């Protein structure tokens, strides 16, 4: 594979023992939330649990549908996927491109070198064509591939996250402190949206792609304008991760978490909902910044909550 691509994804909702809960501010129609989930979770876990070192008990899981790759428009990294690429059949692996998400691991921080630290598994993927394209979607697709769509098409996936393996992360999903994933994919080549140049390495990039983050638009022969970006080919989706949000790295939050942690360490029962959310938000997103001793205390506290059905 020539390139590794990363991109943020929207969580659409969450399923726990209390049923489905739609993510705040999400009006997108979810295939998995609107339709009966026809997945044998116990059978799927039997296939992957030992390899990923996750629980075999379906009751230990949160189910999280997420909007993955949009079709026909560029993401924040100025990468995109066309409809023909997403639905193309891959005879070497026996499925369509979007189905390469299936059975792949759920990680933290794209730490994909060790499958045994996976927090869960991607159960299924679906080509979601249920949402009408609004004016913004139409503009973005037109400026990417030169066509105006009727539907806001995207790949939707559903993740099973093992609450017992990472209680802090699970609590982050349940409280809404975490609302995005980041996908990882390997691609064989990319095409420039402006000139169509195909590159299999960075050395083959055209000038449009070399300077794509300048945000320039280019006039096309048909009178439209295009944003410079890369349309991916030969895609194999590899994993979904929770990643740190640099905007959350503030001294105010870090100072505040120390005070909350002191209460947890003292086994205080006076924590407010806001304080618990501060713990969840910070620890789930910034696990690498937290000492092991504090992580053990926080995990113990939140594990008790999960066992008690909180």
The position carrying tokens 């959310």 is 277
Helix, strand, or coil here: 46?
helix
Closest CA to 157 of 107, 101, 87, 110: 101
Q: Are residues 65 and 124 in the same domain?
A: yes
Q: Are residues 135 and 14 in the same domain?
A: yes
Q: Which of 243, 278, 299 is the last residue of a domain?
A: 243
Q: How far is CA 98 from CA 21, 45, 91, 155, in A?
A: 25, 21, 13, 7
Which residues have a Cβ under 8 Å from the Cβ of 177 and sit 6 or more positions away? 171, 277, 280, 281, 284, 285
Q: Are residues 53 and 133 in the same domain?
A: yes
CA pair distance 55, 49, nearest whole angstrom: 6
Q: Which of 207, 222, 243 is the last residue of a domain?
A: 243
Q: How far is CA 61 from CA 16, 55, 57, 121, in A?
A: 7, 8, 8, 10
Q: Are residues 202 and 298 in the same domain?
A: no
Judge whether 180 and 190 are in contact, CB under 8 Å.
no
CA pair distance 133, 141, nearest whole angstrom: 10
pTM passes above 0.95: no
Per the DSSP assignment, residues forming a β-bridge with 182 are 8, 241
- Residue 232 gets the label, from left (phi > 0), alpha (psi -120 to 50) or beta, of beta
Helix, strand, or coil here: 51?
helix
Judge whether 72 and 87 are in contact, CB under 8 Å.
no
Run of H or E residues at 225: strand 225-227
Q: Are residues 147 and 285 in the same domain?
A: no
Q: What is the pLDDT of residue 250?
A: 30
Token reading at 51: 């390899």
Q: Are residues 195 and 256 in the same domain?
A: no
DSSP 200: S
Neighbours of 273 (CB within 10 A): 8
CA pair distance 139, 154, nearest whole angstrom: 16
Mean pLDDT by 10 residues, the chain (310 residues): 76 75 71 73 92 94 89 92 96 94 89 85 93 94 93 92 90 80 91 96 93 91 91 94 49 43 54 61 58 63 50
CA–CA–CA angle 184, 190, 196 (5° rounding): 150
Q: Are residues 158 and 292 in the same domain?
A: no
Domain count, the chain: 2
Q: Which of 189, 217, 243 is the last residue of a domain?
A: 243
- The residue segments making up the domain with residue 18 are 3-243
Q: Are residues 180 and 77 in the same domain?
A: yes
Neighbours of 146 (CB within 10 A): 14
Q: Are residues 65 and 91 in the same domain?
A: yes
Q: Are residues 179 and 303 in the same domain?
A: no
Q: What is the pLDDT of residue 38?
A: 66
The position carrying tokens 């924040």 is 76
Q: Are residues 262 and 275 in the same domain?
A: yes
Token reading at 310: 């909180």
Q: Are residues 93 and 188 in the same domain?
A: yes
Sign, CA dihedral 50-45-93-14, equals negative
Judge whether 230 and 190 are in contact, CB under 8 Å.
yes
């Amino acid at each position: 594979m020539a390139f590794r691509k990363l991109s943020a994804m929207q969580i659409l909702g969450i399923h726990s023992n209390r049923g489905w809960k739609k993510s705040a501010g999400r009006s997108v129609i979810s295939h998995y939330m609107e339709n009966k989930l026809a997945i044998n979770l116990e059978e799927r876990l039997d296939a992957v649990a030992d390899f990923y070192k996750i629980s075999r008990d379906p009751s230990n899981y949160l189910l999280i549908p997420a909007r993955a790759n949009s079709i026909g428009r560029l993401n924040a990294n100025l990468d995109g996927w066309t409809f023909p690429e997403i639905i193309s059949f891959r005879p070497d692996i026996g499925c369509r491109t979007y189905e390469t998400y299936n059975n792949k691991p759920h990680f933290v921080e794209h730490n994909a070198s060790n499958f045994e630290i996976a927090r869960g598994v991607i159960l299924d993927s679906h080509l979601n064509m249920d949402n009408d394209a609004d004016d913004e979607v139409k503009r973005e697709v037109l400026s990417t591939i030169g066509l105006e769509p009727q539907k806001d098409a995207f790949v939707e996936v559903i993740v099973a996250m093992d609450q017992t393996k990472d209680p802090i992360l699970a609590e982050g999903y349940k409280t809404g402190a975490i609302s995005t994933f980041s996908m990882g994919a390997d691609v064989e080549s990319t095409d420039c949206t402006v000139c169509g140049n195909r590159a299999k390495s960075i050395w083959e990039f055209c000038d449009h792609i070399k300077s794509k983050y300048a945000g320039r638009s280019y006039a096309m022969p048909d009178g439209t304008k295009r944003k410079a970006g890369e349309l991916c080919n030969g895609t194999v989706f590899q994993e979904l991760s929770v990643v740190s949000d640099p905007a959350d790295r503030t001294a105010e939050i870090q100072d505040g978490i120390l005070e909350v942690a002191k209460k947890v360490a003292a086994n205080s029962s006076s924590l407010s909902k806001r304080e618990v959310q501060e713990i969840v938000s910070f620890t789930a997103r910034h696990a690498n910044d937290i000492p092991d001793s504090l992580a053990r205390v926080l995990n113990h506290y939140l594990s008790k909550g999960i066992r008690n059905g909180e």
